[in-house]
Amino acid sequence: MTNAFRVVKEQQMSVCSASIQFGVPTTSLRQRVRGRVYPEVISSGLCPVLSQEEEAMFVDHLKLMASVRYGYTRMEVVNMTSEYAVFLHKRDEEHP
């Protein structure tokens, strides 16, 4: 993405051609060139609520429960994660 951005900004290539040559999405490159997205942005979206260590502990619990043949549904995992975030004071109970 960085190389494609540089080539377009130096007016050596069009956005469309650069996206094809460098294998990056045309829209993402165009947004960076127009200044709608900061060029060095690597990922989009919100930051994770749990740290990697906290997530690893949660995953270990899920694996342990699966090993004793107790599986959780996707919805149960989502609800448990929200409750865990509230327990860690990373979310409040009104907005888990």
Digitized pLDDT (tens) for each residue of the chain, 96 residues in all: 889 999 999 989 999 999 999 999 999 999 999 988 877 766 667 788 899 999 999 999 999 999 999 989 999 999 999 999 999 999 888 876
Token pair recorded at residue 30: 């165009």
Query: What confidence score (pLDDT) does residue 79 get?
Result: 94
Query: What confidence score (pLDDT) does residue 93 get?
Result: 83
Query: What confidence score (pLDDT) does residue 44 get?
Result: 67
Could you identify the residue written with the tokens 């930051």?
47
Query: What confidence score (pLDDT) does residue 43 get?
Result: 67
Token pair recorded at residue 25: 């999405």
Task: Indicate the DSSP class of residue 35.
Answer: T
